[in-house]
Amino acid sequence: MNKYLFEINDLSTDNDDLMLHETLFHNANGYLGVRSNYEEGYPEQYNSIRGMYINGFYDFAEMKQAENLYGFVEEKQTMVNIVDTQGIKLMVDGEEFSLFQGTVLKSSRILDMKKGITKRTILWRSPNHREVEIVITRMASFTMLPLFTIDYQVTAKNFSGEVKFTSTHIGNVQNYFNPNDPRVAAESFQHILVENADVQDGISIISSKTSKSNLSVWSAVKNELSKEGNVQQQVHSLSVDCEITTSIDQDETISLTKYTVLCDSIRYTNGSEKALRFMHEATAKTLAGMYKEQEEFLADYWENASVDVDGDDELSMAIYYNLYQLLQSVGKDRFSNVAAKGLSGEGYEGHYFWDTEMYIQPFFLLTQPDIVKNLIAYRYNILDSAREHAKIMGHTKGALFPWRTIMGKECSGYYPSGSAQYHINGDIAYSVINYYLVTKDLSFIADKGAEILFETARLWLDVGHFHDGKFLIHNVTGPDEYTCVVNNNYYTNTLAQHNLKWAVKFYELLESKNLTSAIEKIRLERSEIESFKQAAEQMYLPYNEELDINPQDDSFLSKKVWDFENTPEDKYPLLLHYHPLHLYRHQVLKQADTVLAHFILEDAQSLSTIENSFAYYEKITTHDSSLSTCIYSIVASKLKQYDKAYEYFGESAKLDLFNTHKNTKDGIHTANMGGNYMAIVYGFGGLRIKEDGLHFAPALPEKWTGYNFKVRFEDSVILVRIDGDNCTFSLQKGTEKAIRVYGKTYELKDSLVIPLEEKSHVL
């Protein structure tokens, strides 16, 4: 099996399958994303989420509040479907190609993750028995981010005649909506308005502007035929059509190459001019040359990012698919981040959540830390908005990052499971700390990271308070969205403690290095540092001595346990079938909460407490969130419960390829994909990043013969290979490092072979 190749026979015309494949085979590069819609379209009665997106490009939409109390969000941002340049209709001697008429003799789709392309191959017999083979190759360029290409090849199998292509460039598009699903937009609205459509030197250009956010986008399209033909461009007020007619002989192959360039006003001034410049640069190259650049880029990516599993081909394919989607999804500049659905669809309206920091950054931190630097720079860019958000929420000092956002303002309309999730501050601080621990990049901390740490620490002092010698944090929501607005959520308090401790450490470190610009900029006083230290030392972490667990919050254990035995399977996910207040009154979890805290800050509790907490919460967690099973897999590995770890891992790895949550049509689950990586490296590999360096505790699942991964740490690259009875650590690049394996310290100078303490036993 080729682990870089995902292929399906695409003969189904079932609408659900079509929409699922739009997601699974989308093209993206972190800047632009294009759903894999049929170029020729579907019949009118079919549904489709036909979309092209730019990461971080948004419009404002009204958010209606039944009771508009102070501070409630009345306006949100939403990712915009900006244009449709996918359309190519094919006429063969007057017969229109469609998979919904004639006879489809063969149809397949391929995602080639080594070449960075998708491919549709169709063998079609028309109603009048003309046979054509159509091969359509798409690419979102990783080396020229504004560029998307379609190479449309047609081969006449049993006839000679006329072929006509109609290539469309449509500016009048809308976003998808579904009033019955809270995870997508509930109503239709015209977010993008065409200002001008024109043709210059054979290149069609449409300039558009958002309806409310006043952002502009320019799309440029050029069509090139492999042989001479009659070309006619028709400019309409909202679109441009390009009709190309030519002849074709039996067994001849002709191709239409369609170039699309997208430029937005967030990143570019004189966007129309810039789009033309990108277009001329792209068309000056050969398509074969650009494919080679794409493959070279990916060769470098896989050199660092590969995670190889021996013994399970299906699982290996799922892992590679997930790692490829992370690359397609992640923003490549300081203006963007990682949307919950990447650039594959409109689920969650393109918003950025805590998913990035806690599930996605760990992968890039260990493989491409410069990307993490950009992601943190994005948070720094919206720091002023976070300060303003803190004021709206009643705080006199500090910054409170929005729960969901694109450009920095809060987009959460339902505050109990949105704005109340103050742990977002701790999550972002945690990511800054981990970036430093892995890279030792103190200049970036001095320039941007420290200011984030200090302002988030200030917020904790304002939201919490001292009482009876303890620091308490009331009325917040932890990661579990089935338990909202509680006092002393364990996860939130541990993250706040971590945030405060490191604010003190960075203050002292920066002062010692005379790197005090951030301290001076925000006028941070020494008295505040003393308060940070006191709050961290006296932070209240809920603990139940009788059960030897950390209660999720102060009131959690007093609630009635949810009646799982009498809850029908068709009532899951619970959020779609039960009122939130009904859920809040029960012990029932949507996702890992305290268990997540036990993974990321494991040294805060004893092993027995972690084990007892895991057993307690496992019984009452529904995993209705895609963010959950990967975390349970990691903690199960730590507890050497490898049968459970493997089961949870499999559910995580195959979530999108097998559409297990039945909503992949709205977009991939990017955070789960990052969690899938963590379940291998942090779970079975036992990796932990701590102040004293890298710690490993590898185990080998019984169903695997081996696995390997690489990690970047400071100036070094370390290959970790687990197979047979041993784990091997090889220093592939950089200076020697001290690493800790099963709690013992080793100096890694070249290669180190250590016997596995035990193999896992997967039932």
Q: Per-residue pLDDT tens for 147-177? A: 999 999 999 999 999 999 999 999 999 998 7
pTM: 0.96
Q: What percent of the chain has pLDDT over 70?
A: 98
> Please, are residues 755 and 738 in contact by the beta-carbon 8 Å criterion?
no
> Among the listed ranges 286-295, 355-364, 661-670, which one has the minimum average pLDDT value?
661-670
- At residue 762, the pLDDT reads 38
Identity of the amino acid at 708:
N
- At residue 623, the pLDDT reads 96
Q: Is 460 helix (H, G, I), strand (E, B) or coil?
A: helix
> Please, are residues 164 and 245 in contact by the beta-carbon 8 Å criterion?
yes
**Position 658 confidence tier, pLDDT thresholds 50, 70, 90:** confident
Closest CA to 373 of 302, 458, 452, 306: 452
**Spatial CB neighbours of 601, under 8 Å, sequence gap ≥ 6:** 494, 495, 498
- At residue 483, the pLDDT reads 98
Peptide bond preceding 573 in cis form (omega within 30 of 0):
yes
For 466-519, what is each residue's pLDDT tens digit?
A: 999 999 999 999 999 999 999 999 999 999 999 999 999 999 999 999 999 999
Identity of the amino acid at 406:
I
Q: For residue 132, what are its two tokens?
A: 């054509």
* 3-state DSSP of 481-544: CCCCCECCCHHHHHHHHHHHHHHHHHHHHHHHCCCCHHHHHCCCCHHHHHHHHHHHHCECCCCE
Q: For residue 730, what are its two tokens?
A: 């090889």
Q: In this model, does residue 763 exceed pLDDT 70?
A: no
Closest CA to 279 of 261, 264, 257, 258: 261
What is the β-pairing status of strands 103-112 and 744-748? unpaired
CA 373 to chain centroid? 16
Q: Which helix (H) or strand (E) holds 118?
A: strand 117-125
Closest CA to 544 of 587, 582, 501, 502: 587
- At residue 12, the pLDDT reads 87
Looking at the DSSP bridge assignments, the partners of residue 96 are 91
Summary mean pLDDT of the chain: 96
Q: For residue 100, what are its two tokens?
A: 């919904």
Name all domains of the chain by residue range, CATH numbers in brackets: 5-270 (2.70.98.40)
d(CA 363, CA 348): 22
Q: In this model, does residue 184 exceed pLDDT 70?
A: no
Instruction: Provide the angle, in degrees to the nearest 10, between the axes of the packed helices 450-463 and 369-381.
Output: 50
For 450-469, what is each residue's pLDDT tens digit?
A: 999 999 999 999 999 999 99
Closest CA to 549 of 462, 496, 611, 484: 611
Q: In this model, does residue 183 exceed pLDDT 60?
A: no
d(CA 561, CA 219): 55
**Spatial CB neighbours of 66, under 8 Å, sequence gap ≥ 6:** none
> Please, are residues 57 and 367 in contact by the beta-carbon 8 Å criterion?
no
Radius of gyration of the chain (CA): 27
Q: Is 127 helix (H, G, I), strand (E, B) or coil?
A: coil
Q: Which residues are catalytic?
A: 481
CB atoms within 10 A of CB 729: 22
d(CA 114, CA 323): 12
Our separate counts of H helices and E strands in the chain read 20, 32
DSSP string, 240-275: EEEEEEEEE-TT-EEEEEEEEEEEETTT-SSHHHHH
**Position 10 confidence tier, pLDDT thresholds 50, 70, 90:** confident
CB atoms within 10 A of CB 571: 11
d(CA 453, CA 130): 67
**Spatial CB neighbours of 641, under 8 Å, sequence gap ≥ 6:** none
